[in-house]
C-alpha cells in the first residue's frame, strides 16, 4: 500500500457515565473525545483519544475546524512529520487543548499504521517486555477503618497495588466553618488532610502489614513546605509512591523533599510541556512519571518520554483515570507492555456501557491489564451507540477548589 492519504478527520464526543456540573459535587464527569481518521483505503480508519473533559468543546473545534483542513490529503504513514506539523502550525506551542487535539490525530495514525502492518501497536514499539501491565486501583473512605475495609476488598480480589485516600482529595470529611458569604466551591482542609493522611497510613500498616503496595495522591493540595513535611512523615510507611505532591509551579521544591526523605515520588498529571519534566528527570528528583498521554500530545511524545526516563532510572505510571477514553487506556497499555522501565498503570475500569460503545477494551485479569492482539490499538467505537449519550453542557465543579476561608487553590 504505497499511497495512503488522510480523507477525513473528525471528533466524536460521548458521555456514557455520570456528570459533575455544580460546585461541591464530587462525582466524575466524562466528556470523552475520540478522533476518527478515515483514509483513502476504503474501510481503513484509526481512532485516537483527545479527551480533555474540562474543555471538551475547545478540543472539538481545534480538531474539526483547524486540524481537518490542515491534514486532509496528507500521507497517513508520516506520523512523526504530521506530529511536528501540528505542533508548530499554530505558532504558539503546547497547551492542553492543542495537545489533546494533536493526540487524537497522533494515536489514530498509530492505529492505522498497525492495521496496515497487520500488527498490534506494541509490536511497532519493539514488542513486549511483559505480557500485561500491573495496575493500581483506588480505595477510599471517611475514616481509617472505612479505608481499610475498602482496601481489603481489593486485596481479596487479588490486587497488589492500591491507592488509598481518606475524606477525598485534600480532606473534606470535617471542614471548618467558612466565613459568612463565602462563595460556593469544592472546599477542603489542608491541615486536617495532612494529619489524617499520616493517621490513615499508621492504621493501615498496623492492620494489613507491609505485604501490599500502597500509594497516595496529594493532588497538589498542600503548600510546598507542608508537602515536604508530609513526604517525610510518610516515609516509615514505605509507600510505593506519593503522587503529585506539588503543582508544576513549585517543582523546584522536590530537591528539598529528596534531602529529607526517601519516599518515592510520582509527578506529572498536569504537565503538558517538556520544560516541566526535564529538570525533574535529569536531576533524579522523581521516581515515576505519570503524565496524561493525550495532554502531552499523544503516543509519539509519550514513547520518547519513556525512553528519556529510562536513561535516568525513572519509571512510567501513565495517568489512567475514569475521564480517559477506552481508546486512551488502550494506548497506555500498549506502551506499558513495550517499555522496559514500566512501573505501574492507574486503572479506573470500564462500565458495561463503555465496553459496548468501545469493543476491544483492554482486559483486566488478576490485577493486570492485557492488550488484545488485534492489529493497531485493537479497539473500535460504535458511533450510533455513542451518539445516544451526548456530552452535557455546564461548568465543572470539582476544579473550583477552595481553602476553608474561601480562597481558591490548586485542584
Distance CA 196, CA 147 (A): 12
Bridge partners, 3 (sequence order): none
Distance CA 327, CA 323 (A): 11
Given 45, 136, 216, 219, which residue is catalytic?
219
Q: Does residue 136 have an active-site annotation?
A: no
Q: Give 171's contacts (C-beta < 8 A, 6+ positions apart).
A: 188, 189, 190, 192, 193, 194, 196, 197
Parallel/antiparallel/unpaired status of strands 265-267 and 288-289: parallel
On whether the CB atoms of residues 152 and 204 are closer than 8 A, the answer is no
Given 122, 136, 159, 169, which residue is catalytic?
169
The cell for 169 is: 482529595
Distance CA 214, CA 237 (A): 9
DSSP letter for each residue of 125-192: TT--SSSSEEEEEEEEESSHHHHHHHHHHHHHTT-SEEEEEESTTTT-SSPPPPPTTPPP-EE--HHH
Q: Does residue 216 have an active-site annotation?
A: no
Chain position carrying cell 477552595:
402
CA atoms within 13 A on the CB side of 209: 4
Enzyme catalytic residues: 169, 219
Amino acid at each position: 500500500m504505497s499511497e495512503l492519504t488522510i480523507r477525513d478527520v473528525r471528533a466524536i464526543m460521548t458521555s456514557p457515565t455520570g456528570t459533575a456540573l455544580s460546585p461541591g459535587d464530587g462525582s466524575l464527569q466524562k466528556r470523552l473525545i475520540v478522533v476518527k481518521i478515515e483514509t483513502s483505503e476504503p474501510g481503513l480508519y484509526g481512532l485516537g483519544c483527545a479527551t480533555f473533559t474540562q474543555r471538551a468543546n475547545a478540543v472539538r473545534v481545534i480538531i474539526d475546524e483547524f486540524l481537518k483542513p490542515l491534514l486532509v490529503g496528507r500521507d497517513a504513514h508520516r506520523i512523526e512529520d504530521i506530529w511536528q506539523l501540528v505542533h508548530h502550525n499554530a505558532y504558539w506551542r503546547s497547551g492542553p487543548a492543542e495537545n489533546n487535539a494533536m493526540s487524537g490525530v497522533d494515536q489514530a495514525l498509530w492505529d492505522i499504521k498497525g492495521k496496515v502492518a497487520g500488527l498490534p501497536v506494541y509490536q511497532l514499539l519493539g514488542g513486549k517486555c511483559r505480557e500485561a501491565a500491573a495496575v493500581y486501583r483506588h480505595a477510599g473512605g471517611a475514616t481509617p477503618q472505612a479505608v481499610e475495609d475498602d482496601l481489603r476488598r481489593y486485596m481479596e480480589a487479588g490486587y497488589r497495588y492500591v491507592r488509598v485516600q481518606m475524606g477525598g482529595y485534600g480532606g473534606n470529611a470535617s471542614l471548618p466553618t467558612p466565613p459568612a458569604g463565602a462563595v460556593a466551591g469544592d472546599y477542603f482542609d489542608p491541615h486536617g488532610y495532612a494529619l489524617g493522611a499520616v493517621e490513615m497510613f499508621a492504621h493501615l500498616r498496623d492492620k494489613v502489614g507491609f505485604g501490599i503496595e500502597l500509594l497516595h495522591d496529594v493532588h497538589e493540595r498542600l503548600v510546598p513546605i507542608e508537602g515536604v513535611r508530609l513526604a517525610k512523615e510518610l516515609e516509615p510507611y514505605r509507600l510505593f509512591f506519593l503522587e503529585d505532591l506539588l503543582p508544576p509551579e513549585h517543582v523546584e521544591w522536590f530537591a528539598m523533599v529528596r534531602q529529607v526523605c526517601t519516599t518515592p515520588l510520582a509527578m506529572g498529571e498536569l504537565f503538558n510541556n517538556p520544560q516541566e519534566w526535564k529538570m525533574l528527570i535529569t536531576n533524579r528528583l522523581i521516581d515515576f512519571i505519570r503524565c496524561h498521554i493525550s495532554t502531552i500530545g499523544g503516543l509519539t511524545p509519550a514513547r520518547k518520554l519513556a525512553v528519556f526516563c529510562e536513561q535516568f532510572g525513572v519509571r512510567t505510571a501513565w495517568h489512567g483515570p475514569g475521564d480517559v477514553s477506552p481508546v486512551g487506556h488502550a494506548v497506555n497499555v500498549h506502551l506499558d507492555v513495550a517499555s522496559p522501565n514500566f512501573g505501574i498503570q492507574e486503572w479506573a475500569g470500564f462500565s458495561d456501557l463503555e465496553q459496548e460503545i468501545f469493543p476491544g477494551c483492554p482486559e483486566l485479569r488478576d490485577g493486570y491489564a492485557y492488550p488484545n492482539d488485534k492489529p493497531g490499538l485493537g479497539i473500535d467505537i460504535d458511533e450510533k451507540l455513542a451518539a445516544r449519550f451526548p456530552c452535557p453542557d455546564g461548568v465543572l465543579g470539582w476544579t473550583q477548589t477552595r481553602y476553608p476561608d474561601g480562597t481558591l487553590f490548586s485542584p
